[in-house]
Amino acid sequence: MHPVAQEAFLAALEQGWADPRRLHAEGRRARLLLDGAREALAEMLGARTEEIHLTAGHTASLHAAVTSVARARRRVGGRVVVSAVERAALLAAATLAGDEVVTVPVDRTGRLDLQAWQDVVGPDVALAALQHANGEVGTLQPVAAAFEATTRAGVPLLVDAGASVGHVDVGAHWDVLAADPSDWGGIAGVGVLAVRARVRTTPTGPEDEDPWAPGGVSLPAVAAAAASLRAVLADRARSEARRALVDRIRERVAQTVRDVEVVGDPVDRLPHVVTFSCLYVDGETLLGELDRKGFAVGSGSACTSSSLQPSHVLAAMGVLTHGNVRIALPSTVTPDDVEAFCAVLPQAVAEVRRMAGATDL
């Protein structure tokens, strides 16, 4: 969490504790705060204020965006086109909302097969969805070209920028844009959805004053989202400094760990995400080893998920799903932190391989 998010959250608790839908003085004050935050978010995302909708969180944003756009275009067609590496919440919404989900493959780096995308995006498609970047492996997607194809076909494009906003420029190649405050240092409990005025939507839930967030949103969380995004964007240099550290990790891991595959595009990627898979390594055990040494990392390996299914992203890329480590560098990371991690990793991997009896393979 960004310290600015905490400040804004607490200030909003003081000023904006009332229901912004009420007409009394406190309610009006809350309304002003809410409107100010929306206006700020709109400006930073390159949207108009009335195009900004707030939701209960990023998952809720993706659910609402997919179902309400698909419903509005029911008469056009029931097909929903997605990339194979979209977030699970988006894929689940597509399955629910579409008569047919057309999944477009990705290459070994996780990048969309643009030719296949252009081939399937036709006038009978209700909605197409492509992430701005993959949060698991960091690869940036060709959203500009994908948007050109959907625009030509008259199909609205939903861009999940949940892993990108606050880290890289997301541009204007979208009809619906989803951004995730908890990814840029905001406070959990709010999602941001920008819907171009030209896009028709039909809510799928029961009638409510705010169909994007039935019952209203957490105003302090909205204020924290806007304030922290402003702070993060103002300090772009700091965000970009992580790019060199990721390069360093990619290089060191490939050099010092035997039988490792560093995945994701080495150049066209998010500045702060690095992922690799180690052959013959149990991901859960490796995470435990690294945790004992003071490093909190993630994994897309099956043994670390409650479903025991491997990451659908790694699977779609055709890379090793076991022994997977995903690191998202916070903006406060130092070169010393990175060196310390690189120093302990080879031994941790060797130890896990020894436990599995796989040292000699």
Partner 1 sequence: MSGQGVDGSTRSTLVDARGLRCPAPVIALARAAREAAPGTVLIVWWTDPAARHDIPAWARMRGHEVLVTEPLAPEEGDGGDDDTRVYVTRVRTASGDAAG
Q: Which residues bind partner 1 (CB under 8 A)?
A: 259, 261, 277, 279-282, 301-303, 308-310, 314-315, 318-323, 356-358, 360-361
Q: Is the dihedral of CA 180, 171, 138, 112 positive or negative?
A: positive
Active-site residue, from 11, 101, 303, 358: 303
- The least CB distance from residue 81 to partner 1, in Å, is 23
Q: In sequence order, what DSSP letters do the residues of 209-220 get, joined into one string? A: SSTTSTT---HH
Residue nearer to partner 1 on the CB measure, 190 or 263: 263
- The least CB distance from residue 282 to partner 1, in Å, is 6
Angle at 46 between CA 127 and CA 106, to 5 degrees: 40
Catalytic, 342? Answer: no
Q: How far is CA 304 from CA 138, 301, 307, in A?
A: 20, 6, 9
Residue nearer to partner 1 on the CB measure, 14 or 360: 360
Backbone angles phi, psi at 182, to 5 degrees: -70, -15
Bridge partners for 71 per DSSP: none
Helices 335-355 and 283-292, packing angle to 10 deg: 130
Q: What is the distance, to the nearest Å, from the Cα of residue 134 to the centroid of all Cα atoms in its chain?
A: 7
- The least CB distance from residue 40 to partner 1, in Å, is 43
- The least CB distance from residue 130 to partner 1, in Å, is 22
Q: Are 81 and 102 in contact (CB under 8 A)?
A: yes
- Residue 246: half-sphere exposure toward Cβ, Cα within 13 Å: 29
Q: How far is CA 88 from CA 32, 92, 167, 194, 284, in A?
A: 35, 6, 21, 20, 21
Strand, helix or coil for residue 263: strand
Q: Are 282 and 322 in contact (CB under 8 A)?
A: yes
Residue nearer to partner 1 on the CB measure, 280 or 295: 280
- The least CB distance from residue 307 to partner 1, in Å, is 9
- The least CB distance from residue 304 to partner 1, in Å, is 10
Amino acid sitting at position 67: T
**Around Cβ 333, how many Cβ atoms within 10 Å?**
18
Spell out the long-range contacts of 247-255 with Cβ–Cβ below 8 A and sequence spacing 24 or more: 248/335, 248/338, 248/342, 249/274, 249/327, 249/338, 249/341, 249/342, 250/274, 250/276, 252/342, 252/345, 253/342, 253/345
- The least CB distance from residue 260 to partner 1, in Å, is 9
Residue nearer to partner 1 on the CB measure, 139 or 299: 299
Q: Which positions are catalytic?
A: 303
